A and B are shown apart, each in its own frame.
Chain A
Amino acid sequence: MNTPTQTALQPAARRAPAAGSPFKGQYRKRLFKADLLTVIAWASVAGAVALWLADGGVAGFSSVAGAFTAMGIVAGLAGMDLVLLMLLLAARLPVIDGAVGHDRALEFHRKLGKPSLYLLLAHGVLIAIGYGLAEGLDPISESVALWVKVPDMWLAFVSMALFIAVVVTSLVAVRRRFPYEFWYAVHLLTYAAVLTSLPHQFSVGGLFAEGTWQRWYWLAVCIATGTALLHYRVLEPIVATVRHQLRVSRVVAAGHGVVSIEMTGRHLDELAGSGGRFFIWRFLAPGQWWHPHPFSLSAEPLQFDADGGGRLRITVRNLGKGSASLARLKPGTRVAVEGPYGLFSTAARSRKHVVMIGAGIGITPIRALLESTPFAPGDATVILRGHSRSGLYLGDEILELCQRRGATLFHLTGRRPRGVQTWQPETEARSGYRLASYAPNLADADVYVCGPADWARNVLDDARRAGVREEQLHYERFDW
């Protein structure tokens, strides 16, 4: 039974030596990349301020008015830099995705939201005070005067209002009250906010005056960010969609409220080995096309012919309104695709052993990962969690894969006990089982977790208590 893998091996697997930890080098490289990106991000903020210093900015502090203006300028420069960083973090750059993963990148993106808004607000207020002092006006009259008299300043005010709208609608408390689509539409205004903020920087901002190299630096940074966004968020998805020519071929029920959507297309070999990484799917049917669905493949693509024509499959549950209507998709519907994104794949491996734990519909990425990630027979443990046996989606396929590849498989079904923080069903929790009870090599394994947020937190806590380090934990959010 324990035959080695038959599936398409990733380059990493081919390189991997048989003994020791084959992923050590890959892990070190990824860590170095992540650290380097962190350094570049912070250095860019320092750079923004340094450019201002190099322009003799400190001279402003010789008067009170000048000090306010100077602080306002620094706040504006730092704010602008953070906004550009946020755009890059959300641009799905392969270099960022490969180093920290899509989830973490967006987490940083969210963390920067409030600080950058505060910096931009401080910029506006401090400049109004500083200019007002120089001119003998109160900050409000000064703002009005700036709006009326100084070219491009009215655009800057519009930009400010847009930034406030974007950040406020992204606050967790506010975001929950509105549908995803509303938040998304408002978030698109970020681009308008950035674009309307640019003119005043280059026409009013003394630092960006023509002929200074600061102007060239900022121009280059802005153009690079814009190009990256256009390339990775618009061009690449279009190219992928045209190249793969995906069409829905079949929609099959895979359990209660769960359907598998099969698609045929071209060049699918290029999508192989993505493991549990997710793609963004758009079904080009009326009322559907604008709704993006983030799902991973639930099986490696099947190839029909030599030039990559074949079939692939995703498995989805009726989570949201959008997902529910997926069950009614008609065969022949065209599908736009982008990705894969995220680090829920072999690229995140750091150890020889691997433990994969999925709950509910979170089992499907586990299924894809199990199929493609390299491990020696006996080195992998798979734990599936569901309310009942019928909730262990794709259970039969996973059983077969585990038999073929030599992985240990556990089915954990039943409700969790009330009032106890555990990821296990009542019986197992009461028996005092821990994650390490299922996977003896846990401390020296990569742990992949996919499922609802609360449940996943309990798994991760259990793993940490068993001595698993952060770098070994790989968690995919599933409650979008």
Chain B
Amino acid sequence: MRIRAVVSATLASVGILVAGWQSGAHVANTASAVGTTAGTTGSGTTGAGPSGSVGSSAPSSGTSGTTGSSSSTGAAAKADGTFAGDVVQTRFGPVQVQVTVSGGAISDVTALQLTDDGGRSVQISNYAAPLLRAEVLQAQSANVQTISGATVTSDAYLTSLQAALDAAHI
């Protein structure tokens, strides 16, 4: 390799990398901004949940919060309300769902967090979440088929859902 080739190749490569870095920094800023907004919205929704006794948006306190609520309801066991499941870590990002119970039945399932590591994961999440929600509402349990092509997301979704259902004593 000649000096001219080495120098030009190095300069070109560095230039390309810097350009990539610059536009990447921009993307990262936007992404974190979006993330924050989404988080705020999420907690807002949770707060405005039906009988907002449990609407805690903090993932770790979610389960304990629900437990508290159910114990306060005592022997009546099945309580109406919103119950957040565990945060389940997957290779494509954390997953957490929240279940709304009314009259002892699952009336709604909301995803608080879904696999979001990279564009493809988001795509899978957006595709799988409505399907899972529909299946769960129909089956009234976490005992449903995983969505093919979204096994990782489905498994985490259903695990988190089961935790929420356990908390709700369903």
Q: Which residues of A contact B (CB under 8 A)?
A: 31, 34-35, 38-39, 41-43, 45-47, 49-59, 69, 130-132, 134-136, 142, 146, 149-151, 203-212
Contacts and interface: CB of A to CB of B under 8 A. Distances in A.
A46 B16 contact: yes
B151 interface: yes
A205 B118 contact: yes
Contact of A43 (B9, B27, B149): B9
Given A46-B16, A209-B122, 19 more contacts: A35-B5, A35-B8, A39-B8, A42-B13, A43-B16, A46-B12, A49-B17, A49-B20, A50-B21, A53-B21, A53-B23, A54-B24, A59-B31, A134-B93, A151-B149, A204-B120, A205-B120, A206-B121, A207-B118
A56 B31 contact: yes
Counting from the closest, the 9 A-B pairs by CB-CB distance are: A206-B118, A50-B20, A209-B119, A131-B91, A46-B13, A53-B20, A56-B27, A42-B9, A53-B24
A35 B118 CA distance: 36
Given A42-B9, A47-B16, A135 B118 contact: no
B16 A206 contact: no
Interface residue SS majority, chain A: helix
Nearest to B31: A56
B45 interface: no
Given A50-B20, A203-B120, A45 B91 contact: no
Contacts of A131: 91
Contacts, number: 112
Contact of B89 (A42, A46, A55, A136): A136
Contact of A150 (B25, B28, B151): B151
A122 to B, nearest CB: 18
Interface in B97-117: 117
Contacts of A204: 120
A58 B91 contact: no
B89 to A, nearest CB: 6
B14 to A, nearest CB: 8
A54 B152 contact: no
Contacts of B14: 46
22 contacts: A34-B5, A35-B4, A38-B6, A41-B9, A47-B16, A50-B17, A50-B20, A50-B21, A53-B23, A55-B27, A55-B119, A58-B21, A58-B25, A59-B31, A69-B91, A134-B90, A135-B90, A142-B91, A149-B152, A209-B120, A210-B123, A211-B119
A35 B7 CA distance: 10
